[in-house]
Structure 1
């Protein structure tokens, strides 16, 4: 039970990073340009999560067919989520379409936080040090996502109280995923743990490419700064993740 509480405590770190990013957006002036940069940076970070944290782990143990099937199921699941949101919103005008895009950004971030919880919960099944490295790395990735989410909500006219409530609600998917991973994956064969991570990778890639980058392009025309924000997000996550792993590994 102590390991469960430790896992949940570590899972709170990504949600905290996301919330702090949202607070920065609340306390500062948000512009379409800043939103564009934040979304590009967040996209680079999300893709780095898949490329650096998830795929190297699954490539070592899963077959190509298992990876392809799990990844495809994750992508298809995201399409289903998008269709569900479209039906609930029923956009008929430009403003409504903008609200749908806002909710898809919210869901994309929720999926990313869900994957953070899944990574941390699965990591805790291996070793506490692994879960700690994953949790610390996700904090950095979720900060620009929190900023971008709140900035996007402000641009859509969502009230401050609702923005803060939605930002705080991001704690739910990360804790839920960490709990599920802890109870369902802890005593399972390695195959199921890695297949779940690959499924999450499919969700994340669609969220980053189809939703975050699309919303970034709609908010403001891309510039060289946008490209640098994307590359910087990827590079920063790689360096921090590698540094934390080196720091935690005994010499």
Structure 2
């Protein structure tokens, strides 16, 4: 029961981070340049999550070819979802509904990926889940900002913009609970393969979605590159700080270490 409450709280954080960023865009004047910088920072944070947490966890506990297969599957899943969205989107004759549909579905898919990552991380260990959730809050804040900024540019009403922002946490919570229930009793190999799957999904999202949208908002400059680097550095510092705090507490790290010891056979299988 304690784990259920833990994952519920952690899964709500990315959606709340998204909502907080949305409210900043709602009540503070936005600009294409700010949108460009926010998306670069968000992309840097997402790449940091993959490079600092997800892939190292998998490399320590899973055979390399399993990581490659799971990463490829995650990337393919994102591309497939994006292709499906393009096929089912309304025609441009419907006016603003096209933009609304595309933005809403894209963010819903991203938050569902966040939930999958948090649910998988909780199945591995509480300390990992806390770090991953914190990283996604940082990434989803500028993403929420970018969502509402785009909706404002497309002429969507404030009431509808707020309603859309409030619905996003449900996607993250639903997929997190589903992933946790499916993986909590699964073999360790399945848990680390799930982390690799999410790494592939997030990598494609950062490169093909966030950065492309950033380039469309405004042309890149030196500040754009600095925002990307700053996002990566920010997550690295947050990750290191949280891991230090969790280690000093003692409880969660033991849980994580035991999972690694149990999964050593999978790493050695290669």
Q: What is the TM-score when the length of structure 1 is the normalising length?
A: 0.90
Unaligned stretches of 5+ residues in structure 2:
251-270
Unaligned stretches of 5+ residues in structure 1:
none
Partner of 1:174: 172
State the distance in 2 between where 1:161 and 1:87 align: 28
Q: Does 1:10 align with 2:10?
A: yes
Q: Deviations over 1:165-217 (max 9, x none)?
A: 22112112211121112210001111111111111111111111111111111
CA RMSD of aligned residues (A): 2.2
Q: Does 1:228 align with 2:226?
A: yes
Partner of 2:71: 71
Partner of 1:62: 62
Partner of 2:89: 89
Q: How many residue pairs align between the two structures?
A: 248
Greater Rg by CA: 2
Task: Using the TM superposition, give the Cα deviation of residue 107 of structure 1 relative to its aligned residue in structure 2, in angstroms.
Answer: 4.2
State the distance in 1 between where 2:108 and 2:202 align: 10
Q: Secondary structure at the match of 1:187?
A: coil
8 A Cα contact 1:111 1:203, kept in partner: no
8 A Cα contact 2:49 2:132, kept in partner: no
8 A Cα contact 1:122 1:185, kept in partner: yes
Task: Using the TM superposition, give the Cα deviation of residue 18 of structure 1 relative to its aligned residue in structure 2, in angstroms.
Answer: 1.2
Task: Using the TM superposition, give the Cα deviation of residue 27 of structure 1 relative to its aligned residue in structure 2, in angstroms.
Answer: 0.8
Partner of 2:246: 248
8 A Cα contact 1:133 1:244, kept in partner: yes
8 A Cα contact 2:43 2:207, kept in partner: yes
Q: Does 1:210 align with 2:208?
A: yes
